[in-house]
Chains A and B, each alone.
Chain A
Amino acid sequence: AQKVTQAQTEISVVEKEDVTLDCVYETRDTTYYLFWYKQPPSGELVFLIRRNSFDEQNEISGRYSWNFQKSTSSFNFTITASQVVDSAVYFCALSVNAGNNRKLIWGLGTSLAVNP
């Protein structure tokens, strides 16, 4: 069975702090995709990154970086020098293509509050 666990329900930081959001996944498939989405208070889910299971290179995009480690089945997300606009719920998701069973398996999300 596939599963995504985001153990941190809520995180509160002060602006300019670095913060890491954890994501641990379970799957027996060798081919899969991992995603991070951001959901600000407006409600719309914003796509941040997609990573396939064969690409373990870490990625940096501005203040955002992602650490993919297959050995620990983790795909963690770090925000450097956090800003108030980063306040949102962040979801990690797993996608496995298995014939007709293609869907995203979602974590429950981590609510990040960045305080001025």
Chain B
Amino acid sequence: EAGVTQSPTHLIKTRGQQATLRCSPISGHTSVYWYQQALGLGLQFLLWYDEGEERNRGNFPPRFSGRQFPNYSSELNVNALELEDSALYLCASSPTGGTQYFGPGTRLTVL
């Protein structure tokens, strides 16, 4: 069974640009979660989508947004990139209420 996939693996942007990160969940999983892991810091919860709806978001500014598509894949958009947005962005999927399984991450570098 295929695991969670994320694309791209690496993304390099300049300050002020927009970044789009993509995630495909494990087949049958309806929930998708996004996390930010900055260097030296723990995992910070960003967003949770379930059945196409945003269910919860962490303490991040509105320029972090996303959506979940009918096939349960998800997209994370970061607008007006700042240097401190450089981090590993991890996506996880789960059946509703179940264990989260993670993808390999997208490493975003903002120059």
Contacts and interface: CB of A to CB of B under 8 A. Distances in A.
| A, B co-complexed | yes
Interface of B: 33, 41-43, 45, 48, 55-56, 58, 88, 90, 92, 97, 99-105, 107
B18 to A, nearest CB: 23
Interface size class of A (residues with CB under 8 A): 20 to 34
Nearest to B3: A44
Interface of A: 35, 37, 42-47, 50, 91, 97, 100-104, 106-109
A104 B33 CA distance: 10
A43 B104 contact: yes
A38 B97 CA distance: 21
Contacts of A97: 97
Contacts of A108: 41-42
Contacts of B100: 47, 104
A47 B105 CA distance: 15
B97 A45 contact: no
Nearest to A107: B42
